[in-house]
Structure 1
Amino acid sequence: MGRWSNFPDEVEGLKCITIADLKKLGYLEPNISMSRNLFWTDKNGERTSSITVIIDTTEIKGSITFDYTYNQSQKINYTVQLITRPSNLGNGLLWFFVCPSTFKVCRKLHLNSGYFLHRTAFKDVYYEKQLQSKKWRSWEKTFGSYLDDRLYEQLYKKHFKKFYNGKPTKKYLQIMKKIKTREDIGFQDVEKFLI
């Protein structure tokens, strides 16, 4: 008799709330108190779910309360602490969540098992790369740049900087290196790998 299949969740597929998104929406400012709704949409732009967040901050700390219904039946309401730390660039403070389960300081909380927590709080949650077979990882390492069209998308993005102060940027050099590797791969290399 066969086993029950065990498909672990992937981090990339989980809903998440990030500090960057809250900042972009203007919800993370010093000395504010507000209640707002956050929405998730599908590829067609239709709302799939929502959550109410209540944010209270002082100059250097705060809290965010999540209020939502999980699986259309379970009412959930809990608070996550917010803290600040000085920027390594010396220009202000950066906001962080403090996970209520692991107490890790993080900038992203994922939804799994009904709660928004740091990814390490969940058992059997992996990154997509961790679930790939050895053969697939080897294939991707060898031919990943050959198959990746996002390289050109990044290179020709509207505000992509190729040079700064007359020198090529690190990101530009990385992309060009991958494109060069891509051009060096011949059909014979692919054929050898498949045999």
Structure 2
Amino acid sequence: MPKNHTFPTLFDEVLQLNISKLKQWEYLKSGQVRTGTITWSRNGTSTGSISIKVNTYSNQPYIELDYKFREEPRNYKVNLVSIPSNLGKGVIWYFLCPETNKRCRKLYSVSGYFLHRQAFRGCMYESQTKSKTWRQIEKVYGSYFDSEKNYELLYSKHFKKFYNGKPTKRYLKLMKRINEADRFTLSEIEQLFHL
């Protein structure tokens, strides 16, 4: 008797809280208490929202989450920790997962609570579900498939190409991927999909 298919929950498709976004939205400035609402959407349709309160004024900084999961109210705090930046300017913020006690930059909501990815069983990233053949194709032609995304990143508002007069590692890596994409001819790509 054949085994039933199991379709794992994908981290890429669940709601996420991201430290980088909180910093971008100025929730993580030192010595403040700030409230707001985060709303998620996919293809223009709202998929969820959450009220947050970020307290960096307290001796133990935290983010308080207030939302409903399947009509059941949820309200709890997730501690925030910071470490000095290796550049000597400012600090780097992390969530401290209430379940695993691990520092992380993203929290995922799989079972109705926002936790570190290791708190969940049977969850994967989309890239982990791809076949070996597809991963090999992606390795060779991935830069071509991602070329539009790479150009958008290159010309995005806050992308730093140079630091102290030298090209950044991120810029050099991006340019390498763009140049790799440019080496493929249209006929090579067409042959790939006519196999």
TM over 0.5: yes
Distance 2:51 2:159 in 1: 35
Instruction: Give the TM-score taking structure 1 as reference length.
Output: 0.81
Change (3 A) 1:158 1:70: closer
Shift in Å, 1:157: 3.6
Distance 1:67 1:5 in 2: 35
Aligned-residue identity in percent: 42
2:152 paired residue number: 153
Matched, 1:68 2:60: no
Correspondences of 1:125-144 after superposition (within 5 Å):
125-144=123-142
Contact 2:33/2:57 (8 A) holds in 1: no
Q: Which has the larger radius of gyration?
A: 1
Shift in Å, 1:141: 0.8
CA RMSD after TM alignment: 2.8
Distance 2:78 2:32 in 1: 16
2:42 paired residue number: 42
1:51 paired residue number: 50
Distance 1:92 1:56 in 2: 17
Distance 1:66 1:47 in 2: 18
Contact 1:60/1:84 (8 A) holds in 2: no
Shift in Å, 1:78: 1.8
Contact 1:61/1:84 (8 A) holds in 2: no
Alignment coverage as a number of residue pairs: 193
**1:44-71 residue CA offsets vs partner (Å, 9 max, x unmatched):** 2x54322122333336631222121102
Change (3 A) 1:161 1:86: closer
Correspondences of 1:75-114 after superposition (within 5 Å):
75-114=73-112
Matched, 1:8 2:34: no
- Where do 5+ consecutive residues of structure 1 fail to align? none
Shift in Å, 1:130: 0.8
1:176 paired residue number: 175
Which range moved further: 99-108 or 73-82? Answer: 73-82
Shift in Å, 1:174: 2.3
Counterpart amino acid of residue 62 in structure 2: S
Shift in Å, 1:5: 2.8
3-state secondary structure, aligned to 1:61 = coil
3-state secondary structure, aligned to 2:43 = coil
